[in-house]
Chain A
């Protein structure tokens, strides 16, 4: 069973803090990776794709380490609005995406 593992948290951090999440994936054939954000009682939405070279979008940075089979998400200058569950996702070929169970983040004023 190909899986994605994440620390469920919760991560409780003060506003302005930097927080990092890691996840590991078991399928070495995985070719693409994503981070999704899910707010309480809502559907998941794409936060960012994860490229081999790493990518940055404002306060968010995603990195991929293929040798160790892990993906990371770094959030700088945390905002109250960043409070959500962050889902790590791997994908291989034409098979369905494999979702982690998510890491819960709570940013506190």
Chain B
């Protein structure tokens, strides 16, 4: 089955540690996205990539970094510079203009 996988589902880290969230898709989509969602809030775009080896900052990129070395993979690193990293992180992809955007199941990150 085609889809987007994110791992792990729940992640706990100590304050000051960097952590990398995984996102893999086998939909052959060019574009991939990372969003953050806080309780009761909407989606906020962190980073996006429309093609391999290229990515752009979204609305809240500070304290995050990404890479896009392969079409299938778009990992997100939450660095220690991110002031309030505890949130629900969603990865998404789509196959082109005016097409549906698919989401992965998300990773809940808790920084202790």
Contact = CB atoms under 8 A, between A and B. Distances in A.
Contacts of A31: 97-98
B42 A102 contact: yes
B103 A94 contact: no
Nearest 3 Cβ contacts at the A-B interface: A101-B42, A43-B103, A32-B98
Nearest to B58: A96
| Range for the number of chain B residues in contact with chain A | 20 to 34
B105 A43 contact: yes
B41 A34 contact: no
Interface stretch (B11-19, B43-51, B63-71, B79-87): B43-51
Interface of A: 31-32, 34, 41-46, 49, 87, 89, 91, 93-94, 96-97, 99-102
- Interface SS of B by simple majority: strand
Given A32-B98, A87-B43, A91-B98, 18 more contacts: A32-B97, A42-B105, A43-B90, A43-B103, A45-B103, A46-B100, A46-B102, A89-B101, A91-B97, A93-B97, A94-B50, A96-B33, A96-B58, A97-B94, A100-B42, A101-B41, A101-B42, A102-B42
B60 to A, nearest CB: 13
Contact of B101 (A93, A97, A100): A97
A45 B48 CA distance: 19
| A contact face: mostly helix, strand, loop, or mixed | loop
Nearest to A33: B98
Nearest to A98: B45
A89 B48 CA distance: 17
Contact of A94 (B43, B97, B105, B106): B97
A41 B94 CA distance: 22
Contacts of A34: 100-101
A34 to B, nearest CB: 7
23 contacts: A31-B97, A32-B97, A34-B100, A34-B101, A41-B88, A42-B105, A42-B106, A43-B104, A43-B106, A44-B43, A45-B103, A46-B102, A49-B100, A87-B42, A89-B101, A91-B97, A93-B97, A94-B50, A94-B97, A96-B58, A97-B101, A101-B41, A101-B42
